[in-house]
Amino acid sequence: MKKKTSGRAAAFLAAAAVCTAAMPFHANADSGMKIVALGDSITNGYSVDGSLIASYPELISSYYGAELVNYAQDGLTSAGLLAQLSDGAVQSDIASADVVLITIGGNDVLGPFLNNEYIDATKYNSLSALIAGVKEQGDIAALKLQLYLNSTMPDAIKNCNANVQQIAGQICGMTDAAVVIQTVYNPMDLDGDDTTHVQSGSVTALCANVNNYLEGKPDNTLYPEDGGINDIIRGLGGVSVVDTFYTFENHSYFYTHIDNADVHPNSKGHLAIAETIIECLNIPETGNENGTLFRRAYTFSGAEQTLAGVNASINEAVLARAMMNYAYGDVDASGVIDILDAAAALGIYASQSAGVTPEITGINAEAADGNRDGKTNITDAALMLGYYSEKATGLFDGSFMEYISAKTAN
């Protein structure tokens, strides 16, 4: 890849945010790589309850040790992103990027679908309440809603499709970077999840409606000029397409906050998006952190207990990102190996020796096996303490694995 010189719930589902002049978020790099993120509240890392551990651009940039410049804005539509591309600062950052990440189109579809005079999803704080609210409107209101959607969505989809094609064309004309755009997922697609909402006729109807707008109807009578938004995204030239629609298919209850009537991804959803994009990019790992943030998100999001049952291949891939060589010794996934890690290893050893379950389990317990000999004991703790001490006093300046190799050689 060519390197260049650097120079409560609104947002997505209501499209209510006012998009002002671009004021990007910057994160520094240690690898020389630059990632520019564009799009809506998904890329911006919106979190309905503040529980998001890291957005997918943060996970990816941390993994590569890359500089992140994030221009994404809550509520941004395809028209808004197209207008943003005329900003000189945005153009300059895109031109100097190694990777450009994009999510767009969700507000074009879900905005009018979930925020109109018949349904206002921002009034509800749970999916059950939203479903009840829809039912309370009665059959006449439901008919009026469908007539409204039939009259509104064809133009919304047609305009979005045209905008997305212009966006891709303009960005590809600005940069030699790897440009990655995602398809739009359906937050109502719950069929594969263990939830009481799965058998709800209302959810099924909402899911089918959204799928029609994203994937196109079989007979395409709603918008004969164009397919669904995702049809257009998948056909874009000059970009790589990550098909988030299929990643989230049947499992939006697991990957999003839809149970709180919010369509945004949770930490598990962002992990899945990040993994599929890294797989798509196929760039060698760089930087000093690599998967530290992956492991933190994996551990504290609950993915460690459940992701394997939802998507085994993504789970295995995320584990591989999280447990690279550098992870061993860093028990608490803080990014450094210190006294706390040594104490944690001793705690695991003491619990195992006493025949009780340690407080630290899973991949963090695996990381406590610093020398990777299949067991956690005093030797691991001593190696962590020695490494910490010699790093702090300037006696050693390599990685923990290099330290272990040096000690073994001696």
Residue 376, Cβ density class (10 Å: 0-12 exposed, 13-18 middle, ≥19 buried): buried
Q: What are 190's two structure tokens?
A: 């719950």
pLDDT at 220 over 60: no
What is the model's pLDDT at position 53?
A: 95
pLDDT at 10 over 50: no
Which ranges of 175-302 would DSSP assign to H, the alpha helix?
A: 201-215, 229-234, 244-248, 252-255, 267-281, 292-300
What's the average model confidence in pLDDT over 7-27? 40
What's the average model confidence in pLDDT over 108-113? 82
Angle at 108 between CA 148 and CA 60, to 5 degrees: 150
What's the average model confidence in pLDDT over 328-355? 95
Q: What is the pLDDT of residues 77-93, one digit of tens each?
A: 999 999 999 999 999 99
End-to-end CA distance of the chain: 40
> Cα separation of 12 and 262, whole Å?
9
What is the model's pLDDT at position 287?
A: 54
Nearest to 200 by CA among 108, 143, 129, 281: 129
Q: In angstroms, what CA-CA distances link 75 with 78, 104, 115, 307, 379?
A: 10, 10, 12, 29, 53
**Residue 67 bridge partners (DSSP):** 34
What is the model's pLDDT at position 34?
A: 96
Who has greater pLDDT, 28 or 76?
A: 76
pLDDT at 29 over 70: no
pLDDT band at 32 (very low <50, low <70, confident <90, very high): confident
Helices 312-322 & 303-310 angle (0-180, nearest 10): 140
What is the model's pLDDT at position 210?
A: 84
Pairing type for strands 67-70 and 25-27 reads antiparallel
What is the model's pLDDT at position 199?
A: 65
Mean pLDDT of the chain: 85
What's the average model confidence in pLDDT over 299-304? 91
What's the average model confidence in pLDDT over 360-386? 95
What's the average model confidence in pLDDT over 247-274? 93
Q: Whole-prediction pTM value?
A: 0.86
Number of Cβ within a 10 Å radius of residue 70: 22
Q: What are 137's two structure tokens?
A: 């409107």
Strands (E), 125-185: 178-182
Q: What is the pLDDT of residues 120-165, one digit of tens each?
A: 777 777 777 777 777 777 677 667 777 888 888 888 888 999 999 9
pLDDT band at 374 (very low <50, low <70, confident <90, very high): very high
pLDDT at 229 over 80: yes
pLDDT band at 223 (very low <50, low <70, confident <90, very high): low
Q: How much of the chain, in percent, has pLDDT values that exceed 90?
A: 58
pLDDT at 5 over 60: no
Mention every residue, 6+ apart, whose C-beta is less than 8 A from residue 315.
303, 307, 308
pLDDT at 21 over 70: no
Who has greater pLDDT, 205 or 279?
A: 279
HSE-up (13 A, CA, CB side) for residue 23? 4
What is the model's pLDDT at position 4?
A: 33
Nearest to 75 by CA among 39, 47, 50: 39
> Cα separation of 342 and 174, whole Å?
49
pLDDT band at 248 (very low <50, low <70, confident <90, very high): very high
Per residue in 290-317, is it b (16+ CB within 10 Å) or e — as a string?
bbbbbbbbbbebebbeebeebbeebbeb
> Cα separation of 289 and 392, whole Å?
18
Residue with tokens 């671009």: 22
